[in-house]
Structure 1
Amino acid sequence: MKYIKTSILVLLLCLNADLSFGQSSPKSLRLFIIGNSFSQNASAYLPNFVKEKGIELTVGRAELGGHSLAQHWAYAEAAEANPEDPKGKPYKGKSLRMLLSDGTWDVVTLQQASYLSADLESYSPYAKKLYDYIKKIQPNAEIIIHQTWAYRSDALKFGRVAPNQLAKNQQEMWEQSRGAYHAMAKQLNVKIMPVGDAFYAVASDKVFGFKKDADFDYANPVYPNLPNQVNSLNMGYSWKDNKMAFDANHANEAGRYLGSLIWYATLFKESPLNMAYVPNKVPADFAAYLRTVAEKTIKNLNTTK
């Protein structure tokens, strides 16, 4: 079996899980996301979860691939200077103000671009400027920080921790990005969705953590063979047009599931252990383990504030 001792481990984790989540989840929510492909990944299964629970969810999006806080702010600034300037309307021909002004939003999320997430200096002053901008348009909206994740342990390079300096490995990228996100949350006095913590908890687990396949010939791959990538939360290796591609950054189905569990638990104050939906490509045993990780991650965040 792929997951040795899984049932016993999951049972023990479930018995020790903290179920002290709020009992009064909202029946509807209007959520606006400012981010990029990582926010798309991490919120991928929210529609499935809310459907399961009978919750009405409306999602607005200002997401552009690879975009940082600085870039989102630059677009908003351009639109404020000249509402007709195309540079201020990168979101399918609309500005951030136009999107935020579309009704009343209950929650607005912010995040840094993953490559810059471990560089604290990259957050300032853009996080505060975006926060203030959102509050002027949606004064009653709750702003929540989406803590993104570190790249897979076998990534060819990791995110920036300072100008001209990259993280040495997955652990350093996670530690530095976690510190930066928490500093941002403290400055703005907002809460965090700890997706990055959940990803690293899995990656560093002795049983479930991804381990690079040492037996695969990466220099001379033969189609359609791929390395063993069991328990990976990232896309990893795949074949495209008879060439082997590698993406150590974006989330695969398991990673999207874990991220969505954290988002759902944060937004609706409900235990991830209560979720029944599992994507087809995520093995049931691994999914059960990921639910316990999400539960424990939320618990740890709440007890270390």
Structure 2
Amino acid sequence: MKRVYFVLLFALMASAVSAQVKDTLRVLAIGNSFSEDAVEQYLWDLGKEAKVTFIIGNAYRGGWSLIGHWADARSRAVNTEYRKVVDGKRVNQGKYMLRDIITDEPWDVITLQQVSQDAGQIETYEPGLSMMIGYVKALGVDSMKLGFHQTWAYSQDSEHKGFAKYNFNQYFMYSSIISAVDKAMQKHKNDLDFYIPSGTAIQNARTTVLANTQTKDKAVNRELTRDGYHLNYTLGRYIVACTWFEVLTGKSPVGMKSRPKGLSKGLATLAQKAAHAAVISPMAVTPI
């Protein structure tokens, strides 16, 4: 019953995001290298095909957590790299105070996320999540929707030291992330409007040949990662971009022509289906 309720709730939240879609959609991720993997590469191109012009910002600090971003915000530290994608061009604007990034555009959507090694440990979310919610809402425009980015589990052979927290077990890490995000969303149900199930999309794709396919660009593919935790440059990043695209626009990526250079139509379709299935069922793996 709880799972059915949450799926319905997620559908309503996703509808709330997509209902506001207009010709130009301004999206800011506050995160780290995992938000870099998610929004800086293929999301703009998907929007272009769908006639949605994305202005994409990434408030980036490598390895940074919710409490880390809050500490920077509170101290007005000039530590956050501001990456921006406008007209399809990705530019690193340099380092700014987080406040200045949040107020640079009238963002339609802003997302938060936890650092990957702590994403499955709900006790690490607070007080950072509450503080960041209050901070972003105080600075953002009234119509802004605030969401949460659900990140992915590491590859089974990952050497990331944080993997030890999950007994070096990929599915345990994935399940822990799902549980933690579920609890965070329930606690902040009046503050967080939606979440983006990137972790589920990647786990869905790991049920297919995508998990070990060698693409034409010969990108490293360790279960859709390039190093055991960051997404690989072609398939991994494309799957997650498709997931963001559908949550933000309400449009399925299945059948879209936009895909990374060198990625076959068949593999792109599998990636699109993995993302779409995650949006439909964000809390559980769907074999593709």
Q: Which runs of 5+ in 2 are unaligned?
A: 1-13, 82-93
- Which deviates more from structure 2 when the two are superposed, residues 90-99 or residues 194-203? 90-99
What are the within-5 Å matches in structure 2 for residues 193-272 of structure 1?
193-203=196-206, 205=207, 207-208=208-209, 210=211, 232-235=223-226, 247-252=227-232, 253-272=234-253
Once the two structures are superposed, what CA deviation does each residue of 1:91-129 show, in whole Å capped at 9, x if it has no partner? 334211111112311100111111111121111110111
Q: Measure how far apart 1:288 and its partner are.
A: 1.0
TM-score by structure 1 length? 0.74
Identity %: 28
- Which deviates more from structure 2 when the two are superposed, residues 280-289 or residues 187-196? 280-289
| Number of residues of Structure 1 aligned to a counterpart in Structure 2 | 248
Task: Report which of the two structures shows the higher radius of gyration computed on alpha carbons.
Answer: 1
Q: Which runs of 5+ in 1 are unaligned?
A: 1-19, 80-86, 213-226, 236-246
CA distance in 1: counterparts of 2:185 and 2:72, whole angstroms: 23
When residues 229 and 63 of structure 1 are mapped into structure 2, their CA distance, relative to the original with a 3 A threshold, is: closer
User: Aligned pair 1:188/2:188, yes or no?
Assistant: yes
Q: Measure how far apart 1:234 and its partner are.
A: 0.9
2:26 corresponds to which of 24, 30, 33:
30
1:57 corresponds to which of 54, 61, 68:
54
CA distance in 1: counterparts of 2:256 and 2:263, whole angstroms: 14
Would the aligned equivalents of 1:158 and 1:170 in 2 still touch at CA under 8 Å?
Answer: no
CA distance in 1: counterparts of 2:256 and 2:186, whole angstroms: 30
Structure 2 partner of 1:108: 110
CA distance in 2: counterparts of 1:136 and 1:181, whole angstroms: 23
User: Aligned pair 1:277/2:258, yes or no?
Assistant: yes
Would the aligned equivalents of 1:153 and 1:170 in 2 still touch at CA under 8 Å?
Answer: yes
Give the counterpart letter for 2:135 in structure 1: Y
Once the two structures are superposed, what CA deviation does each residue of 1:122-176 show, in whole Å capped at 9, x if it has no partner? 1111011101100111133101111110011121246468xxx443311111111
Structure 2 partner of 1:6: none
CA distance in 2: counterparts of 1:291 and 1:23, whole angstroms: 21
CA distance in 2: counterparts of 1:107 and 1:65, whole angstroms: 21
> Runs of at least 4 residues of structure 1 off by over 6 A?
20-24, 227-231
User: Aligned pair 1:144/2:147, yes or no?
Assistant: yes
CA RMSD of aligned residues (A): 2.8
CA distance in 2: counterparts of 1:72 and 1:60, whole angstroms: 16
Q: Measure how far apart 1:282 and its partner are.
A: 2.6
CA distance in 1: counterparts of 2:176 and 2:69, whole angstroms: 22
CA distance in 2: counterparts of 1:262 and 1:117, whole angstroms: 18
Would the aligned equivalents of 2:151 and 2:198 in 1 still touch at CA under 8 Å?
Answer: yes
Q: Measure how far apart 1:52 and its partner are.
A: 1.4
- SS of 2:211 mapped into structure 1: coil
1:156 corresponds to which of 141, 154, 159:
159
CA distance in 1: counterparts of 2:146 and 2:281, whole angstroms: 21
Q: Measure how far apart 1:26 and its partner are.
A: 2.2
Would the aligned equivalents of 2:21 and 2:249 in 1 still touch at CA under 8 Å?
Answer: yes
CA distance in 1: counterparts of 2:19 and 2:138, whole angstroms: 31
- SS of 1:143 mapped into structure 2: strand
Would the aligned equivalents of 2:35 and 2:58 in 1 still touch at CA under 8 Å?
Answer: no
User: Aligned pair 1:174/2:183, yes or no?
Assistant: no
Would the aligned equivalents of 2:255 and 2:269 in 1 still touch at CA under 8 Å?
Answer: no
Q: Measure how far apart 1:297 and its partner are.
A: 1.3
CA distance in 2: counterparts of 1:157 and 1:88, whole angstroms: 28
Once the two structures are superposed, what CA deviation does each residue of 1:206-252 show, in whole Å capped at 9, x if it has no partner? x426369xxxxxxxxxxxxxx997683111xxxxxxxxxxx111111
CA distance in 2: counterparts of 1:36 and 1:149, whole angstroms: 13
Would the aligned equivalents of 2:154 and 2:228 in 1 still touch at CA under 8 Å?
Answer: yes
CA distance in 1: counterparts of 2:23 and 2:183, whole angstroms: 32
Give the counterpart letter for 1:129 in structure 2: M
When residues 61 and 209 of structure 1 are mapped into structure 2, their CA distance, relative to the original with a 3 A threshold, is: closer
TM-score by structure 2 length? 0.78
- SS of 2:59 mapped into structure 1: strand
Q: Measure how far apart 1:265 and its partner are.
A: 0.2
